[in-house]
Structure 1
Amino acid sequence: LSRAPRVRPSTTAALAEPLMPARRAVSGSLRGISVSQAGQPEVAARRVSSLNDGEALLGFSSGLCSGRCFLYWLIFLSCLGGLLFGYDTGVISGASLLLKERFRLGAVELEAVVSSTILFAALGSLASGPINMRLGRRPTILLGSATFTLGALLMAASASFGTLVLGRVIVGVAVGLSSGTVPMFIAEVAPTAMRGKLVALNNVCIVSGQVLAGLVDGSFALVPAGWRYMLGLAAVPAVVQLVGMAFMPESPRWLLEQGRRGEARAAMLRSRERTPTCEAEVESEIAEMAAAITLQREAEAALRRATVPIRPVDEGGGGGGGGGG
């Protein structure tokens, strides 16, 4: 039997020598991490506590629906806002014929019914910015869902021209809130590789809502008081969105802006596939978001400094001193 050749110590050292720089670098990094964590035990403890609180708050650690199915469910609920946008702006074209006969509307009154939604949608979209910054994306979507529901039910139950216009105004505010929030929310919760097509789904839902409005108009055109069904059916997807979004997480970016890093991490993990690199990818995205938020705040501060008018120097004190001399 032939014996296996022995590896000389010099040969072993020669083989291990190329690996020594990498080994020293890794050990040095680990020592740096240990020293930094040991130097800041309270900060590390607070971070771990924040992570655990965030994951428990969002139900991530409970093993509920997570990963790709949760992401698609979240996007579906969000895109209902686009569906309602298209439906409420399109359904009035068929309902206006019945409304004109029911309320004996003239040209001016009919234009008020049709255009009031568009006017207040513009105002609602302007208001969506401050509301999003103050309350968050999810509460703004919930506010839009509740407003959609109220407006749809008010239009369906209206017995006068004034009530009908009021319902259209409320729906217009909801359209503005939705159009200013849903695309931003989808972009902030979607993974980087899927962000473009998921944001585009909102536009698809807007057009689908207009198509659905045409089908509903045709279905109830010959039904007595069919306009009530046309206008009131918008409450169905609005209620679905209202109930569903109540259990969804907030936008990770908004949570980061509020300093709630643990909840932001838990929200992102909830909508990511559980792969070996999932947590590392989430940490990388959070770091990119944090850097973008820092740059945005610096740019806003620079813009404020550039646009604030220069105050004149108060010469009162200097003049008094000169007079005394």
Structure 2
Amino acid sequence: MYLIGALLTAVTPNFLIMVVGRFLYGIGIGLAMHAAPMYIAETAPSQIRGMLISLKEFFIVLGMLLGYIVGNLFVEVISGWRYMYAASAPICVIMGIGMCWLPCSPRWLLLCATQGKGDLRETKENATRCLCRLRGQASPDLVSEQVNLILEELSYVGEEKKAGFSEIFQGKCLKAMIIGCGLVFFQQVTGQPSVLYYAATIFQECWILWSI
């Protein structure tokens, strides 16, 4: 969807096609924004899991910065905005090719097996191979131990009692909700989204970039 959205926006003959292209591009961003941290959380070692998820956010912001830089390069070019949107197409291709080599999440494979969607023994071997690819030079014994640990954790999934809505406001759940909602609230209150939306106008008014 990234690639289709980028190409549609770059070659759009009218405003309607541009809206469709941006809509598809937005869906691609939404899927990646949720799938990437989930994949990292399920596959990364616990020692560096938080750092890798934080790096994902770092590269999102870096991409925004590169967008302003690319936009500034094409600002004086006739129909330069088309080149600006098309510049993301090669990145989409690289991302798509890279995803073809990503192994499946071992945790997801084992979860499917525990739910009766495949042979457990065969799935366990497949999950071990995937985890070996993800861990690189890790010893097979260590990988097998991690696979068994994941299976042990998944064995409790169906045994946990269902939580009610009221439990959100109790104990550890309440603390987590306050922290999560508080971070989002203060992010909005500080005006960060407004600065991002009007960054081009702010730069122009401040004479930081002369040709935005």
Q: TM-score, normalised by structure 1?
A: 0.45
- Which residues in structure 2 correspond to 1:1-325 (within 5 Å)? 147-259=1-113, 260-274=123-137, 278-299=139-160, 302-303=161-162
State the Cα deviation string for residues 170-190 of structure 1 (Å, max 9, x = none).
011111100110011112221
Measured in 2, the distance between the counterparts of 1:258 and 1:290 equals: 11
* RMSD of aligned alpha carbons: 1.8
The alpha carbon displacement at 1:284 in A equals 2.4
Letter in 2 for 1:267: C
8 Å contact kept, 2:7–2:86: yes
Letter in 1 for 2:140: E
Find the structure with the greater CA-based Rg: 1
Superposed structure 1 runs of 4+ greater than 6 Å apart: none
State the Cα deviation string for residues 138-189 of structure 1 (Å, max 9, x = none).
xxxxxxxxx0000000000101110010111101111110011001111222
Measured in 2, the distance between the counterparts of 1:202 and 1:163 equals: 30
Measured in 2, the distance between the counterparts of 1:238 and 1:295 equals: 39
The alpha carbon displacement at 1:246 in A equals 1.2
| Stretches of structure 2 lacking an aligned partner (at least 5 in a row) | 114-122, 166-212
State the Cα deviation string for residues 196-238 of structure 1 (Å, max 9, x = none).
2122210111011011101001101111100001112111111
Letter in 2 for 1:212: L
The alpha carbon displacement at 1:191 in A equals 2.0
Tell me the SS of whatever aligns to 1:274.
Answer: coil
Considering Cα pairs closer than 8 Å and 6+ residues apart, tell me whether 1 or 2 has the greater RCO: 1
State the Cα deviation string for residues 231-256 of structure 1 (Å, max 9, x = none).
12111111111112112211111111
Tell me the SS of whatever aligns to 1:149.
Answer: helix
Tell me the SS of whatever aligns to 2:156.
Answer: helix
State the Cα deviation string for residues 68-107 of structure 1 (Å, max 9, x = none).
xxxxxxxxxxxxxxxxxxxxxxxxxxxxxxxxxxxxxxxx
The alpha carbon displacement at 1:273 in A equals 4.0
Tell me the SS of whatever aligns to 1:296.
Answer: coil
Task: Specify which structure has the higher proportion of helix.
Answer: 1
Letter in 2 for 1:227: W
Measured in 1, the distance between the counterparts of 2:136 and 2:102 equals: 17
| Stretches of structure 1 lacking an aligned partner (at least 5 in a row) | 1-146, 308-325
Identity percentage over the alignment? 33
